[in-house]
């Protein structure tokens, strides 16, 4: 009965989410000359706000190796608005995770809708060989000219060279989330990288909450948001088959799933 009820709820929720997306798109009206109304970084966090929220989230219990992190925010067009890190300098966290954080932000934004949020963690199972979205991870490649332009001394600063450019990229493990403001409007995405994919997701989740941009309308998790569905721990087989993510195990200890279950709940949009 639990499985049947969960499947029904997911099916109904998806239908409602897509209907809401259609309605909201219609309400936006025609795009003004020069691009859609959500172009630019208005409503998204400043560098200091992103850095403070990331620091606060990283200081909590998130599983993984307790490493320093990168975070990137993109707007609804996929343009990078801010990049930040938690360590003493740009070498205090994995250098390769700067671009991965941008990939995750781009992915969460690119594959979320006004009525349906998909985290990068939700995409993991479907892109595996034989999965319903196999090959998605090879679409929309990173623009390497944007990712690796210099000077490196500015990486993670308020003038990071990626800012004001489209980064592209698709990443399909935990750490990327859509950003929804208090009116439930999808305004971009955030990506976090620097530890295990499960810890990345937890820190991204807490960072989004700190930024007050977690008014998620609907998602494919067991709780109808965009949280991780850990493989083997989800009561509904349809979620496990299409939207699940592996459990991260450090030194044989599995605590990350319990941490994820205790993350702050997403907020409800205000009318």
In a domain, 37, yes or no: no
What pLDDT shows up at residue 128?
94
Q: In this structure, is residue 271 part of a structural domain?
A: no
Which one is predicted more confidently, 132 or 36? Answer: 132
Q: Is pLDDT at 50 greater than 90 in this prediction?
A: yes
Does residue 185 fall inside a structural domain?
A: yes
Q: Is residue 270, in this structure, part of any structural domain at all?
A: no
Kindly report the average pLDDT of the chain as a whole number. 88
Number of domains within the chain: 1
What's the pLDDT tens digit per position in 168-194? 999 999 999 999 999 999 999 999 999
269 assigned to some structural domain: no
Strands (DSSP E) found in 63-206: 70-75, 80-85, 176-180, 186-193
168 located within any domain: yes
- Is residue 266 in some structural domain? no
Q: What CATH code is carried by the domain that includes residue 224?
A: 3.30.450.150
Structure tokens belonging to residue 149: 């332009």
Its domain, for residue 231, covers: 2-28+44-261
pTM over 0.85? The answer is yes
Res. 7: pLDDT tops 80: no
Buried b (16+ CB within 10 A) or exposed e, 176-190: bbbbbbeebbbbbbb
Q: Indicate whether 39 belongs to any domain.
A: no
């Amino acid at each position: 009965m639990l499985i049947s009820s969960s499947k029904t709820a997911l099916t109904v929720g998806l239908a409602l989410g897509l209907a809401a997306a259609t309605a909201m798109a219609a309400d936006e009206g025609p795009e003004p000359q020069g691009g859609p109304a959500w172009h630019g970084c208005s409503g998204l966090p400043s560098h200091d706000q992103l850095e403070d929220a990331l620091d606060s989230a990283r200081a909590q219990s998130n599983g993984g190796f307790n490493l320093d992190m990168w975070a990137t925010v993109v707007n609804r067009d996929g343009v990078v608005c801010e990049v930040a890190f938690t360590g003493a300098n740009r070498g205090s966290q994995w250098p390769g995770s700067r671009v991965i954080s941008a990939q995750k932000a781009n992915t969460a934004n690119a594959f979320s809708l006004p009525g349906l949020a998909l985290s990068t963690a939700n995409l993991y199972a479907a892109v595996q060989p034989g999965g319903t979205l196999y090959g998605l991870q090879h679409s929309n490649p990173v623009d390497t000219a944007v990712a690796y332009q210099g000077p490196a001394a500015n990486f993670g600063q308020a003038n990071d060279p990626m800012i004001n450019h489209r980064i592209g990229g698709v990443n399909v493990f935990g750490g990327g989330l859509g950003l929804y403001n208090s009116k439930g409007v999808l305004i971009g995405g955030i990506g976090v990288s620097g530890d295990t994919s499960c810890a990345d997701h937890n820190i991204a989740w807490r960072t989004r909450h700190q930024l007050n941009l977690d008014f998620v309308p609907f998602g494919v998790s067991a709780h109808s948001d965009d949280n991780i569905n850990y493989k083997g721990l989800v009561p509904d087989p349809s979620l496990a088959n299409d939207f699940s993510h592996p459990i991260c195990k450090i030194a044989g200890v599995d605590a990350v799933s319990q941490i994820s279950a205790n993350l702050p709940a997403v907020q409800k949009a205000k009318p």
